[in-house]
A and B are shown apart, each in its own frame.
Chain A
Amino acid sequence: MGWVPEELDAVIHAPARLRVVASLAALGRGDEVAFPKLRKLLDMTAGNLSTHLRKLEDAGYVRVTKTHEGRVPATYLSLTETGRTAFADYQAALMDLLKGVQG
């Protein structure tokens, strides 16, 4: 099929994490989204989302900021520059594969 997953970033190339990264990439640089808002947007369970976020954080793609709003703990997520670059490269690799398939 010309579909060679080895060419693609394995950290991003999983539907759930791809959706996480795509959503965070829609944020402006310097912006963060709260965990509950992201969870609702993705319609994932908190545990599942946490697992994927940890993998992305370990890869250096996602920044997890833990803070307090009043007395309530809050967690904010954003893409790192590394994450943005990796996502851009991933999309470019997809485009190359697509061209390969069509051509």
Chain B
Amino acid sequence: MSDPTSDRPEGTGDAATLDPAETLRLIREQQAAARDAMEPDGRLLYGVWGLAWLIGYLCMWVSARDTGAPEVWAGGVFSGSIVGAMIFTIVHTTTRTAGTRGVSARVGVIYGWTWFLAFVALGVMLGAMADAGASPEVMAVAANGFASLIVGLMYIVGGLLFCANQMSVVGGWMLVTAVGAALAGMPHTYLVMAVAGGGGFLVMVAVEQYLRRRRGSSEPASARAEGGGLGA
């Protein structure tokens, strides 16, 4: 209905009225719409995690700075932020990728479960450390350092899996954050997590926006090389 003449490929119907520039613009717009319908929006995911880390860890820092160790309310805000970001990520990703299947979907499921299992393992290990008599200070340094270590490695791997170099760069930065958080000691380890970790994610919102705009304006130049794109 949008193109009644197109059943005659040899005809000079609607298509002939589009000039090359308009046609290339149509392609760009359609591919942007397709990606929005089928892939998660990096800006949203980085934004949600950036806010969760910034708010959660800042509360932990403020509370630990006053009393030497985070108070219950701060722990509650932190847990709520992280769980909220997790739920958003799962809902957003599954909604966007629903109706697609194949290599990316299989890789995505395994990748998602790896996140989950890694943090379950981390929780169990931290519990064992506490049982073995680790002090609150040791616990805080270990929790923040190991969490950033997992995040860093997962982002580096994610960048490789999804052909997204910027994601691997975030991973590298998170390894720097892990070192910083471990060296900072209590209570500043939380400040490092909030500013370097949360701030790092928030910087990525701007980077994703930039990449999105650049892709929207320069894609034809690389059309032959990309052959329509390798995907996420």
- Complex CA distance for A97 and B229, rounded to whole angstroms: 22
- Given the known interface contacts A10-B9, A15-B2, A88-B227, the answer about A37 and B98 at a Cβ–Cβ threshold of 8 Å is yes
Which chain B residues in 32-50 approach chain A with CB under 8 Å? 33-35, 37-38
- Given the known interface contacts A36-B99, A51-B7, the answer about A25 and B230 at a Cβ–Cβ threshold of 8 Å is no
Interface of B is mostly: helix
Interface of A is mostly: helix
- The chain A residue sitting closest to B9, CB to CB, is A10
A-B contact count (CB 8 A): 154
Is A55 touching B9 in the complex (CB atoms < 8 A)?
Answer: yes
Is B100 at the interface (CB under 8 A from chain A)?
Answer: yes
Which chain B residues in 174-228 approach chain A with CB under 8 Å? 220-221, 223-224, 226-228
- How many A residues touch B, CB cutoff 8 Å? 51
Is A22 touching B31 in the complex (CB atoms < 8 A)?
Answer: yes
Chain B residues with CB under 8 Å of chain A are 1-3, 5-7, 9-10, 12-16, 18-21, 23-24, 26-27, 30-31, 33-35, 37-38, 98-105, 220-221, 223-224, 226-232
Given the complex, which residues of A lie within 8 Å of B35, measured CB to CB? Answer: 26
Is B24 touching A28 in the complex (CB atoms < 8 A)?
Answer: no
Closest 6 CB pairs of A and B: A28-B231, A25-B228, A37-B99, A91-B223, A30-B103, A14-B6
